[in-house]
Every structure is written in C-alpha cells, then in structure tokens.
Amino acid sequence: MEHLNPAYTALIHASQQGLAIEPQPYLRLAQALGVSEAYVIKQFQTMLDQGLIRRIAAIPNHYALGYVANGMCVWNIADERLDTVGTWLGSQAGVSHCYRRPRRLPAWPYNLFAMLHGKDHDTVRAQAKNISMHITQHFPGVLHDHDILFSTAILKKTGLRLRRP
Amino acid sequence: MTDTHTTPLHAPVKLDDTDRHILNRLQEGFPICSRPFARLAPDLSLSESDLIARVQYLRQSGVLTRFGPLFQIEALGGAYCLVAMSVPEKRWDSVVKTVNRHPEVAHNYRRAHALNMWFVLATASAQDLEACLTTIETETGLPVFAFPKEQEYALSLKLEL
C-alpha cells in the first residue's frame, strides 16, 4: 500500500491530536466529522481489530513521572545472530522500541537499538551493562560494540501530525 | 502548532495512588463505547465525573503527552523513520527551528553524542518520507542519516507506576 486509505484519513486527521476528555469523546469526534457516534465507534473497533490502531490509550510523559534518564542504547551485533539477540532483548522488562536498523559506516557501526528508561543515568547504565554481559555470555562472539545516547533536551514532542492531502 | 523552541526536560509531577491506578489502566487501552469513562470508573472506584476531572488534570499538567488512538501508520500505508544529524553547536538553534518546522517531525531529542540530534519523521507515504529527508538536507546543508526500522523486536513500554 503506497498511500493512506482515504476511508481512514478523515478519522485520523480528526483524532491525531487526541480525544476530548469528556463523557462522550467519540460523539465529539463524530460531530466534528458530521457522522454518527455509532459510525465512529464501529470504525475505531474495526481499525483496532485489523491492527490499524495499536490501541486507544494514554501515553505518559516519562520525564513528568520521574523517569528522567532516557537512554537510547545501541549495540553492534554480528548480522547472522541479530534476530536471535534482538528477539531476546525485546522480551526484557524495561525495554521499549527495540529495533534492527541499518549501520551507517564509518560514522555509525550499531545495528540494534533499544530505549531504556530509568530514574537516573546510573540505573540505565547498569541495565545496559547487564544486557551486554548477558549477550556476551549467551551469544558468544556476536557483540562487537555498545554505546548509550542519553537525551539532554526534548526539542519537540507532538506525535503523529499527518499533513492534509 | 509546531514547537520551534527548546523545551527543558519536564519536572516530576506529584501523583497520588488514584492517579497511578488511572495511569496504569489508561496505558492498557481505553474502551470504545458511547460512555467510556463511565465504563472504566467503577474499576477505579471513582465516579465518571471524578475520573474525567482526574484525566483532564493529568493531561493539562503534562503527565500525559497524548490520550487517544495510536495509529499503526505503516499498516495504514504511511511511513516512520528515525533520523540523526550532527549539528554544529553554533548553528544549533537555527537548525532546531528548521527541522521542527516540519509537521512530519513527530518528536526530536538532543542526545549526548557526535550525532547530537535525533528525530522521528512520520509521513503519509514512503515517497513523502524521502522528499522530507531531502528537504531537510537541503535546508540545513547538513548530512542526514536515516535509520529505517528493518525489524521490530519490541514496541511499547508500559511504565508500572
């Protein structure tokens, strides 16, 4: 699929900034779109069932909750074992956004990315060190290099904002 | 609509146990029905209006950055990409403005590394993504490193509060 399905674009545009926090949020959305509340509810349920919406939920601000150490942890793993290591890492507690991404040599040798969140940098460093030790023990010879990139400022955090076609 | 300034890291906000229960519950998923807060409220031993007031406060105080549908943009035909740049300090503020001006930039972080700016682009199509990368490279005159997702091993983090 090359482009967003037009059947969903109006709904996405109307709701990408979030739901109204009031007794009937789907009715408010329906009124903005000129459709019925029942239609919006049915459409969302269908999109959820089809995996087009991951979920309807609240996203907490890690920082406001005291999770101020936000570390992007990166490893350079031998390609042939990357899926095995990545699958293991993705199942570990406290790990989010664990992905295989391309290396950009020579500037960037890392191909496994995971976000770790903690209340201070040392906690995140210790967690990353434990992960590296585990990889070394259980997948010998595959770990070449590792780094942690801590965030020092949020420059923008708006989430998805698709342009109107 | 677009943030063009540098926001400091958020100061922690005081929460009580009820707020924590609400946050834990709302991270899991919100009901799709006519009166969703009324459906959730009994689980949290609250009235519908008290729950709404609490969630409004959590949203306004910045504890919740978002409350609503999380679209699986790739399944919808759109594209996401993590992007990094190495921005010279003396050009920092102007490059932040140039990059953040694009609505496709969903979030942007400064990180302690030679590649010191990391942002995520979200676009309605793969072509739009390529066009946006080229535009940012042209506007800033700086190389842009794109790190598309090749395989997903984990996505969401549920913070236990």
Pairing mode of beta strands B117-123, B105-111: antiparallel
Residue A8 forms contact with B (CB below 8 Å): yes
* A 73-102 → B contacts, CB under 8 A: 82-83, 86-87, 89-91, 94-102
User: Exposed, middle or buried, B125 (CB in 10 Å: 0-12/13-18/19+)?
Assistant: middle
**Could you tell me the end-to-end alpha-carbon distance of chain B, in angstroms, rounded to an integer?**
30
The answer to whether A89 contacts B153, with C-beta atoms less than 8 Å apart, is: yes
Residue of A131, A162, A163, A164 to mutate when probing chain B, most B C-beta within 10 A: A162
Residue A4 forms contact with B (CB below 8 Å): yes
Q: Could you tell me which residues come within 8 angstroms of residue B74 by beta carbon, excluding any fewer than 6 positions away?
A: B80
According to the model, what pLDDT value does residue B159 have? 56
Structure confidence at residue A164 as a pLDDT band (50, 70, 90): low
The residues with which A115 forms a beta bridge, in sequence order, are A72, A96
The residues with which B123 forms a beta bridge, in sequence order, are B79
Q: Is the pLDDT of residue A42 over 60?
A: yes
Q: Which of A19, A89, A108 sits opposite B67 (nearest CB)?
A: A19
Residues B129-150 have a mean pLDDT of 96
From chain A, pick out residues whose CB is under 8 angstroms from the CB of B30.
Answer: 19, 55-58
Buried b (16+ CB within 10 A) or exposed e, B46-80: bebeebbebbeebbeeebbbbbbbbbbbeebbbbb
The answer to whether A153 contacts B145, with C-beta atoms less than 8 Å apart, is: no
According to the model, what pLDDT value does residue A29 have? 95
What are the pLDDT digits (tens) for A101-130? 999 999 899 999 999 888 899 999 999 999
From chain A, pick out residues whose CB is under 8 angstroms from the CB of B110.
Answer: 151-153, 155
From chain B, pick out residues whose CB is under 8 angstroms from the CB of A19.
Answer: 30, 67-69
From chain A, pick out residues whose CB is under 8 angstroms from the CB of B40.
Answer: none
Q: What is the ipTM of this complex?
A: 0.80
**Of the given ranges (A50-59, B55-64, B101-110, B148-157), which has the lowest mean pLDDT?**
B148-157
The answer to whether A55 contacts B117, with C-beta atoms less than 8 Å apart, is: no
What are the pLDDT digits (tens) for B29-71? 899 999 999 999 999 999 999 999 999 999 998 888 889 998 8
According to the model, what pLDDT value does residue B10 have? 57
Residue A81 DSSP one-character state: G
